[in-house]
Amino acid sequence: MANLVTAGLDGSHESVAAARWAAHEANLRGVPLALVHVEEWLEGPPLAVATTEVRREWAQGLLREASEEIKGLYPNLEITSRRLSGIPATALARAAASSDMLVLGSRGLGGIAGFVLGSISAGTIAATDQPIVLVRAPLDEATPAEGRGTDGPIVTGVDIGRPCDALLSFAFDEAARRGCALRVIHAWSPPPVVGSGYSYGLDLGVQEEIGRGIATAVDEMIRPWCEKYPSVTVAPEVFIGQSAIQLVDASKGAALVVVGRRIRRSAYGTHIGGIAHAVLHHAAAPVAVIAHE
């Protein structure tokens, strides 16, 4: 383990919220916090830009102010800061590679829940296999200084047809650190039934039997993790419907939503995945994206 939490700062309210959330996380883990700012260098920019010296002074001031604020919240937390150069997504991915997690701010969808997954966040997620957490700015001044989503349960979704060890490991570990409950969600859709017509209706008894079988499979999947983390209160939940909808609904009041992204090595780029994409755009809590095979 790298024993380091890294947060990206760009001067936006969202990135400040991300830095506060990252500080809270680093304090929970008992590890240092690294604040980074990426200066993108453009050859022949289309518009006039500030001089190198002005940009450097602004970035140094940004990092200094954030460090001082966080030090006031967590006096014993070790904080480092540095400026990076290059394409933001690439530079942030390099920073993430030497960290336990990278925390980024993400602009919200107006006054409603959800995130706008910008090109930098999407590019960074695609370029690293480390956990990345996206955090929105507080919607009101009453929100705790360490950012949104610090209370409530951890929420994650599992697919009983695929390995979910990386996802469950992260979710259980977070719940144990925070001393909160863990909701493990699986959603399924009844198979189509061919009769006089083509429908998705099943006999109620058959549907209940399938549901019991799926619930048993979920229990078997999480049993080793429950034994490893006996202090964590776990609530496995099986629903009929779409996983993304259930996870978004569960995000209300959650400390963190944990979703997976399958690692796909392709010349055409990395696909985040439909469920992760939907949760990122509509969740009301911070979202952790965990890469897994």
Q: For position 142, what pLDDT does the model report?
A: 45
CA atoms within 13 A on the CB side of 219: 6
CB neighbour list of residue 74: distance below 8 Å, 6 or more residues apart: 23, 24, 26, 27
Last residue of a domain, one of 129, 147, 165: 147
Which tens digits make up the pLDDT trace of 54-96?
878 888 999 999 999 999 999 999 999 999 988 889 999 999 9
Last residue of a domain, one of 115, 147, 179: 147
Asked if 52 and 186 sit in the same domain, the reply is no
Asked if 104 and 227 sit in the same domain, the reply is no
Phi-psi region of 242 (alpha: psi -120 to 50; beta: other; left: phi over 0): beta
- Give the angle 108-112-116 at the CA atoms, nearest 5°: 25
Which one is predicted more confidently, 43 or 103? 103
Q: Range with the lowest mean pLDDT among 139-143, 155-159, 262-266, 270-274?
A: 139-143
**Positive/negative CA dihedral, 197, 198, 200, 205:** positive
Q: Range with the lowest mean pLDDT among 16-30, 111-125, 165-179, 270-284?
A: 111-125
Q: How many CB atoms lie within 10 A of CB 33?
A: 28
* Mean pLDDT, rounded, of the chain: 84
pLDDT at 209 over 90: no
Q: For position 179, what pLDDT does the model report?
A: 95
Q: What is the 3-state secondary structure (H, E, C) of 210-222?
A: HHHHHHHHHHHHH
How many domains, the chain? 2
DSSP character at residue 159: -
What domain range includes position 64? 1-147
Mean pLDDT of 15-23: 94
Which one is predicted more confidently, 292 or 157? 157
Q: For position 111, what pLDDT does the model report?
A: 42
Number of DSSP helices (H) and strands (E) in the chain, helices first:
8, 12
Asked if 120 and 181 sit in the same domain, the reply is no
Q: For position 276, what pLDDT does the model report?
A: 84
Asked if 141 and 10 sit in the same domain, the reply is yes
Which one is predicted more confidently, 11 or 203? 11
Which tens digits make up the pLDDT trace of 234-292?
999 999 889 999 999 999 999 999 999 877 655 455 556 778 888 888 888 999 999 97
Which one is predicted more confidently, 292 or 168? 168
Helix (H, G, I), strand (E, B) or coil at 113: coil
Asked if 140 and 156 sit in the same domain, the reply is no
Asked if 284 and 227 sit in the same domain, the reply is yes
CB neighbour list of residue 113: distance below 8 Å, 6 or more residues apart: 248, 251, 252, 282, 283, 284
CA atoms within 13 A on the CB side of 204: 0
Asked if 126 and 88 sit in the same domain, the reply is yes
Asked if 228 and 282 sit in the same domain, the reply is yes
Match 């925070």 to its residue by tokens.
Answer: 178
**Residue 109 sits in a domain of what CATH number?**
3.40.50.620
